[in-house]
Amino acid sequence: MTDPRNSADTRIKEEFERARKEYAAFDRTLDALAALRTILDIVREIAEETELIDFRPKLEAAELDAGPYTPDGILILKGSSDFIVELKTSWNETDIAQVLKYARSPAYFFSGERRPFKPTRCLLLGYQNPPGERNLDELFDSWESSKFGFPLVLVRYSLEQGPAGDRMYFSRIAYKRNGECPPCSLGKAFNSTRGVAVSVDRFKVHRSRFHKTNDQAIASYAAVLWWTKYVSHYLSEEQKSEMAERGRLSSPLIVGVDKINEVPTMPDVEVPLGPRDIRNALEFLRQAKLVALKTRANVFEVEVKEDRFIRLPQGSPISRGDPQIDISLKILARWATHKVKNPVRTSKKVRRGGARRGLRRDDKTRDLFPR
């Protein structure tokens, strides 16, 4: 008798739920960045003391690291303190090493100029899901033994509902060894036991400016963004007119593999997708059967259409009869269904004998996504 836990439908649901949760967590992190950006703008005392805000920073590498380092943000205050900001979903084994290398960096780059950090600074580390005490102990053991001379401050960020509407809430994690921010207006806000909150209505003006954190976007999020925001920038004027009239193109959009590193310029976007994000997005959409890779022509074919024309396949983990399903859920559902039932072919491994067998046409895929 077949184990129901191994059925295709069960595996599809598991893949979909995992991707949906990961997608939602990444989206929440971008909410937090937008909320932080709003605090820096609307709180007069904080805005007046802030000299530079950069959510695409590059820090000078320390010691023999290749660098540069890329935290989620740096905040340079006038004659006071400098803040390095990093936001995470939950604890990862690499967090300690990452935090220490950010702290060791002696300078940052702005407009091509190297600028040293002030001696008084703060590393602000945010989590959606705060680490357990054992992980915190290991983190602060490493921090304190390094004797940096400035604080590491851990905060939790969460989107909370309230009678006046949803808000993003930042609060200092209650841990006995947690540091305190320097005594500036921004530092006082994060040191407060009440924390600091921003309503969704206030930070949504900044939300569209964050397509990712300063590091790589997760593939599912990049895929949805590329489909909903970026693809229109590849269209000719004639194709745009056809989309406006029919809601779909009569022939596929052709994107050369050699062109995917040329990311369209998005106006008013503070942190856009990068070339690697675009590559990952197209790979994800290919598995969702919304993009086809024609290896002989070395191009992608995209069936560009409005969200209402995107159909859910048989075996989809969400209802096929609901016309109000969000496009992100449609794309995730198609990806999960086809990943289980109709996975994209991957290249064959070279035989151990060292003699390389002739590649099948589909095997060329491995050469089309240089890293």
Model confidence band, residue 3 (pLDDT cutoffs 50, 70, 90): low
Q: Which domain holds residue 27?
A: 4-207
Residues 197 and 242 in one domain: no
pLDDT digits over 283-312, tens only? 999 999 999 999 899 999 999 999 989 999
Q: Provide the pLDDT confidence category of residue 359 given band limits of 50, 70 and 90.
A: very low
In a domain, 214, yes or no: no
136 and 13 together in one domain: yes
2 pLDDT above the threshold of 90:
no
The C-alpha atoms of residue 141 and residue 181 are separated, in whole angstroms, by: 19
Q: Does one domain contain both 13 and 158?
A: yes
Both 34 and 111 in a single domain?
yes
**pLDDT score recorded for residue 80:** 81
Q: Is the pTM of this model over 0.85?
A: yes
Q: Which residue has the higher pLDDT, 193 or 190?
A: 190
Give the number of other CB atoms < 10 A from CB of residue 286: 19
Alpha carbons 40 and 26: distance in angstroms, whole number: 22
pLDDT > 70: percent of the chain: 91
Residues 82 and 190 grouped into a single domain: yes
Q: What pLDDT does 319 receive? A: 84
Which pLDDT value is given to residue 361?
A: 33
Rounded to whole angstroms, how far apart are CA atoms 346 and 364? 9
Q: What mean pLDDT do residues 246-264 have?
A: 92
Residues 259 and 168 occupy one common structural domain: no
Model confidence at 27: pLDDT above 90:
yes
SS3 217: coil
Give residue-wise pLDDT tens across range 326-350: 999 999 999 999 999 999 876 444 3
Do 135 and 44 fall within a single domain? yes
* Element spanning 280, H or E: helix 275-287
Tell whether 151 is covered by a domain.
Answer: yes
The pLDDT mean for the chain works out to 89
Q: Structural domain tally of the chain?
A: 2
Per-residue pLDDT at 364 exceeds 50: no
Alpha carbon distance 304, 315 (integer Å): 23
Q: How many CB atoms lie within 10 A of CB 152?
A: 23
3-state secondary structure 1-43: CCCHHHCHHHHHHHHHHHHHHHHHHHHHHHHHHHHHHHHHHHC
Query: Measured between alpha carbons, how far is 348 from 85 in angstroms, rounded to an integer?
Result: 42
